[in-house]
Amino acid sequence: MKNVRNGIVAILCIVFLGNILGGEGTSVVNTVSNEVVALNYFDALKVKLEKGMVKADLILLVDSLLEKENIDSNVIDLLSLKINEEYGAPWPIDTNPYPAHDVYKSWNTLMPHPYKSDICRHDSETTLSLTDNFMNCGYEHPIEGVVTSRFGWRNDRPHNGIDIDLVRGDTVRSVFRGVVRLAKWTGGYGRTLIIRHNNGLETIYAHLYKIMVQPGDIVDPGQAVARGGNSGASRGSHLHFETRYKGKPINPETIIDFKKFELLSDSVVIRKTKQGYVSFQPGTQFHKIKGGDYLYKIAGMYGVSVNQICKWNGIKRNHILLGGKELRVSK
Ligand SMILES: [Zn+2]
């Protein structure tokens, strides 16, 4: 019966949203089906709450959805919003004492990814300082180990961080000064630590064996904050390390040199794209594609190889160049 109802809701919503948005687009259909899925989960959670489930368990249950590979993270966001609307935020909202309040205006100690995409809507490009007084005393590497998996697409799924090999129990350190936002078990991440820094970056340390700090703790760069491990959806002990801005993952290798265990430079440029953000070093050159351009020609213009261009832009040699788009053509 529920499925029938949701089917009808979905069809009505498609027609309704279609009218508002002027018709077409698969994104409309996706949005609606995400909403329907989220509502389904919400109904199920409601039953559990009515049967006496406490809020802490409810949050754990929502987190456990992150483990399920076929669930769109937007569904979890929608579900969280719905829970907030209906039951009030079960987490502290008083945010003023926390870092980068201007950027986030919220402080959530229970959900790893609580941010709505609204907070990036008006962004274009911003330069984040990594070493000034504001960041207090610079950078320390989280754990000096070999990188075993990089940021980017992996088995048709995005890998939102970088994996560093370790032995269970090895010390994991905070990279910058910041305040612990989240320190708990969260679905696929296993035991997870999230630290918010003054420049708005958040760093995530996942699959931990032991967490040694609590939400609200101020941590310094290099401070031992956890022991590495293999918790959550992990095969073999390693640290899964993410850098995020406004909730969107950015490639840690545009900020940190994982071989020298140091920052690449004093700042990083973050540019809004359709999907989220890209980040790069200040001074990085871009080429705006024009009619008649091809990779070999562009490579010649900037004295770099086609291979380098492909690597910097995450494209293949046979990538179709669209006029007006930009290609990164320098380090
Ligand atoms: Zn990973």
DSSP symbols for 244-304: EETTEEE-GGGTEETTTTEESSSEEEEEE-SSSEEEE-TT--EEE--TT--HHHHHHHHT-
Are 212 and 315 found together in one domain?
no
Cα–ligand 1 centroid distance for 180 (angstroms): 20
Question: CB–CB of 225/180 below 8 Å?
Answer: yes
List 280's β-bridge partners, or say none: 269
Q: Which long-range contacts (CB under 8 A, 24 or more apart) does 134-138 make?
A: 134/198, 134/199, 135/176, 135/177, 135/197, 135/198, 135/199, 136/176, 136/177, 136/198, 136/220, 136/221, 137/177, 137/220, 137/221, 138/176, 138/221, 138/263
Domain limits at 309?
286-328
Query: Would 120 be classed as within a structural domain?
Result: no
State both tokens at 273: 């794209």
Are 162 and 50 found together in one domain?
no
Q: Report d(CA 165, CA 160) in Å as an integer.
A: 16
For 55-79, the pLDDT digits (tens) are 667 666 766 665 555 666 677 767 7
Are 81 and 173 found together in one domain?
no
Cα–ligand 1 centroid distance for 272 (angstroms): 23
Whole-number pLDDT of residue 307: 92
For 201-253, the pLDDT digits (tens) are 999 999 999 999 999 899 999 999 999 999 988 889 999 999 999 999 999 99
Cα–ligand 1 centroid distance for 207 (angstroms): 9
Q: Report d(CA 160, CA 157) in Å as an integer.
A: 9
How many other CB atoms are found less than 10 A from the CB of residue 183?
23
The domain that holds 225 is classified in CATH as 2.70.70.10
How many domains would you assign to the chain? Answer: 3
Q: Report d(CA 146, CA 164) in Å as an integer.
A: 6
Question: CB–CB of 65/112 below 8 Å?
Answer: no
Whole-number pLDDT of residue 56: 66
Q: What is the CA radius of gyration of the chain?
A: 22
Cα–ligand 1 centroid distance for 284 (angstroms): 27
Domain-terminating residue out of 55, 87, 119? 87
Indicate the pLDDT class of residue 173, thresholds 50, 70 and 90. very high
Cα–ligand 1 centroid distance for 151 (angstroms): 8
Task: Name the least confident of 109-123, 167-181, 247-261.
Answer: 109-123
Cα–ligand 1 centroid distance for 330 (angstroms): 27
List 186's β-bridge partners, or say none: 190
Task: Name the least confident of 1-5, 15-19, 101-105, 323-327.
Answer: 15-19
pLDDT (mean) for 303-327 = 88
Higher pLDDT, 106 or 147: 147
Q: What angle do CA 177, 152, 34 make, to 5 degrees?
A: 95
Query: Would 264 be classed as within a structural domain?
Result: yes
Are 290 and 263 found together in one domain?
no
pTM reported for the whole predicted model: 0.68
Whole-number pLDDT of residue 68: 59
Cα–ligand 1 centroid distance for 241 (angstroms): 7
State the amino acid at position 200 in one-letter form: G
Query: Would 281 be classed as within a structural domain?
Result: no
Cα–ligand 1 centroid distance for 162 (angstroms): 5
